[in-house]
Amino acid sequence: MAHDVLAALRDLHRRQEEQRKNNLRCLEMLSEEQVWQRALPSLNSIGNLLLHLTGNERHYLGLGVGGVDYKRDRPREFTTQGGVSKAELRELQLEAQRITTEVLDRLTPADFALPPQGGVEYDNHDRLGLLLHVFHHYSYHSGQILLWTKIVTGTDTQLLRWKH
């Protein structure tokens, strides 16, 4: 059973990497200005969503599951309105990808029930719960990035295998 869970987590990671590629393709379709465009002042830009995805992944998965040092500034993820280039956003995502892959490569079934590391807390989840949270969270915001890119560019991004 535990090995089945590990295989399922690796499949979720593979799907996350497909979403990450789509997010980075969306980023390339946009100008520097469009990356920080908000539909309303209370809504997030694609830049904010990418900062938030990076912060969430590095905090919960990197630090909480893998013990990789990270100091999160969650408010900054949402209040930033520019000043971070597309290239920097891309590099932040690729660094999070590298860390996630390293953590998952050394993960064992015995790690699932352990408490989070680094002072990370999230609804009393163990490390398995944190992993599931990160993958679900990434998917949720990736859908927002795809939709917002379609709206901002006025085109179908053609990133998915089927048309919507």
How many whole angstroms separate alpha carbon 105 and alpha carbon 6? 10
Task: Give the number of other CB atoms < 10 A from CB of residue 7.
Answer: 10
How many whole angstroms separate alpha carbon 21 and alpha carbon 16? 9
pLDDT of residue 116: 97
List, for residues 121-134, the tens digit of each pLDDT value: 999 899 999 999 99
List, for residues 31-45, the tens digit of each pLDDT value: 999 999 999 999 999
Q: Are 76 and 44 in contact (CB under 8 A)?
A: no
Q: Which amino acid, 109?
A: P
Mean pLDDT within 58-87: 97
Domain layout of the chain by residue ranges: 2-153
| Rounded to 5°, angle at Cα 56 from 130 and 19 | 90
Mean pLDDT within 4-11: 93
Contacts of 40 (CB under 8 A, 6+ apart): none
CATH topology of domain 2-153: Four Helix Bundle (Hemerythrin (Met), subunit A) (1.20.120)
Residue recorded with tokens 């660094």: 95
List, for residues 94-114, the tens digit of each pLDDT value: 999 999 999 999 999 999 999
Alpha helix ranges (H) inside 2-84: 2-29, 32-35, 46-56, 74-79
Report in angstroms the alpha-carbon separations of 8 from 12, 104, 131, 152.
Answer: 6, 12, 11, 35
C-alpha dihedral, 122 to 126 to 132 to 138, nearest 10°: 40
